[in-house]
Amino acid sequence: MNIADLKAQNLILFEVIAGSKAFGLDTPSSDTDIKGVFYLPKDKFFGLEYIPQISNETNDIVYYELGRFVELLLKNNPNILEMLATPEDCILYKHPIMEYLRLEDFLSKLCKDTFAGYAMTQIKKARGLKKKIVNPMDKERKSLIDFCFILQGHSTIDLKQWLMSENYSQAHCGLINIPHSRGMYAVFYDAKQSLGYKGIVKKELSNEVALSSIPKDEKAIGYLYCNQDGYSQYCKEYKEYWDWIAKRNEERYNVNVSHGKNYDSKNMMHTVRLLQSALQIAQSGTINIRVSNREELLNIKAGNMEYEALMQKAEQLIAAVEMTYPLAQLPEAPNKIRGESVLVHMRKELYDL
């Protein structure tokens, strides 16, 4: 099934304009996001083709099956609670049966973890993005040899520099472990390649150094330290960086670069908004997603706040959330039995059971 099928068969129960237009944060360049709720035809629901969600290719139009929608409400999913709290002027269609689902029956102290917890993940992403923008990585990937060093007196020298200065080839070297010294190896050299040494690494992108069998009377020419942990961390960051380059939204990236603050300003705007929503839920027992501080949030989106000041603001909001929720007049979690009972009642009406 696809979105066209939902509309052709009149299966949509709820359809709203979501995102920036619902929040009151839209600008002339804003897209229109559509979210909604549908129910399956009886044969598919009772058969083997249960479909929990249907969306378009870009995911800016998403519909949730009724049961999935209630399941996410019971988990206090921020996107789903915000759908149910959509302002009247952004509701495109609402089937009368949706009146059974009331926002106040689902808001709970779980919102501290879902709203504020999600905001914390966004802060981590923002910090990670700042690191990526400020510290671009060369396309040419480093090898394990770049993380190897030769001991010289009380210091070390880069392995590549040492090989070059001594006119050695890494392929002619042999290594053996030094007991009780993690990452330390004795280095031997076979200029004639008659002893079968395996080199320092077998291949350019090897993940570990090679060990060789060394004749008993051979003398070490040096001692090598391999920073294996540093290389592993580099490989992880290299993959993350170039995956990000491949998948990033260029228009959004250029906005972040142009304001010169080196963070994802749109991401941080929504982080602050989520934390303010979490605080509102605890203080008032409800949620109004149409923001009252549009200018402040758009100022963040435009990149007009310094990164450290923005982080300080977020941390202050998190502290307020942590202090407010224990005292909030909210249940610890939504009433699952009641929520399930409402869902069963709605299904019975829809399927005329």
At 130-162, the pLDDT tens digits run 555 556 778 889 999 999 999 998 999 999 999
Residue ranges making up the domain that contains 150: 144-233
Mean pLDDT, rounded, for 68-75 = 98
- For the chain, the average pLDDT equals 90
Provide the whole-model pTM.
0.66
- Mark whether 156 and 126 lie in a shared domain: no
Residue 285: left if φ>0, alpha if ψ -120 to 50, beta else—which one?
left
Tokens of 269: 């705007």
Mean pLDDT, rounded, for 109-128 = 80
- Mark whether 68 and 215 lie in a shared domain: no
What is the tally of structural domains in the chain? 3
- Mark whether 89 and 8 lie in a shared domain: yes
- Mark whether 128 and 156 lie in a shared domain: no
- Mark whether 91 and 7 lie in a shared domain: yes
Instruction: With a cut of 60, say whether residue 256 has pLDDT above it.
Output: no
Tens of pLDDT, residues 279-325: 999 999 999 999 999 999 999 888 888 888 888 998 899 999 999 99
- Mark whether 128 and 259 lie in a shared domain: yes
CB atoms within 10 A of CB 232: 13
Tokens of 299: 């100022």
What CA–CA distance (Å, rounded) separates 142 from 235?
Answer: 8
Residue with tokens 């598919």: 44
What CA–CA distance (Å, rounded) separates 222 from 22?
Answer: 67
Q: Are 109 and 325 in contact (CB under 8 A)?
A: yes
Mean pLDDT, rounded, for 343-348 = 97
| pLDDT score for 98 | 98
Q: Is residue 242 part of a domain?
A: no
